[in-house]
Amino acid sequence: MNRFENKVALITGSSQGIGAACALRLAKDGCDIILNGHKFDERGEKLIAEIEGMGRKAAFLVADLSKAKEAIKLVTDAVDTFSRLDILVNNAGVEKNANFWEVTEEDYDLVMDTNLKGVFFGIQSFVNYCRKNKVEGAVINMSSVHEEIVFPHFAAYCASKGGLRMLTRNLATELAPFNIRINNVAPGAVSTPINQDLLEDKAQLKKVLQNIPLRRMGKVEDVAGVVAFLASDDAAYVTGSTYFVDGGLTYHYEEQ
């Protein structure tokens, strides 16, 4: 299916995991792709080769999304790369595990700057481009089930995702007159490199799966499929929403 013909997407934090899966899925559906990460390495090279193998264009732009100026520049550089930008997927994010009473200002700033501040100003840059060029854009933010449910020892992360939820809902109203849609995708427990320790700890994994009604970890492709839907015209009447991709975890958790 070629539902993104002549469209370009920027996916932040797309060297691996969910971001890479989103890039491949959008390319499969006909989109040209701008990849992003802290550095360009063999992972980026492999993704570009895969995307070009699908007959799509691909490029990789280096940027640190914890810095607002770099987030803004990333969007303008993405526009310059293929002369347009239609879809922004804010996937880059970090988390830090610590007791609340031991969280450092440095770690707090890194989490909030990457997960919320950089996203805020990246969206702003994209919106300015869309308004100037009369582009009907789509923004998809990679949130988390922890915009809704607690995650002890990850207070800054939860605060950043809770903030992202309200930012998305607020911007859905403010950007609607420009036909710019914005939604969140909130993954639960997904098999990615960041969860490798969990995947190798059978006892802990069993405990996690007991809270998931579908009784399995999510796949990155599960998340990418929802991102592709929200980026497409199939979701033309969807904005301001969060789509939980969690095997039923969120509301099952609340019932415990």
By C-alpha distance, which of 234, 151, 152 is closest to 187? 151
157 given a catalytic annotation: yes
Please name the residues in contact with 168: beta carbons below 8 A apart, sequence gap of 6 or more: 141, 143, 182, 183, 184, 240, 242
Q: Which of 123, 128, 246, 112 is closest to 183 using CA atoms?
A: 123
**Active-site residue (options: 108, 129, 157, 251):** 157
DSSP string, the chain: --TTTT-EEEESS-SSHHHHHHHHHHHHTT-EEEEEESS--HHHHHHHHHHHHTT--EEEEE--TTSHHHHHHHHHHHHHHHS---EEEE---------GGG--HHHHHHHHIIIIIHHHHHHHHHHHHHHHHT---EEEEE--GGGTS--TT-HHHHHHHHHHHHHHHHHHHHHGGGT-EEEEEEE-SB-SGGGHHHHH-HHHHHHHHTT-TT-SPBPHHHHHHHHHHHHSGGGTT--S-EEEESTTHHHHHHH-
Please give the positions annotated as active site. Answer: 157
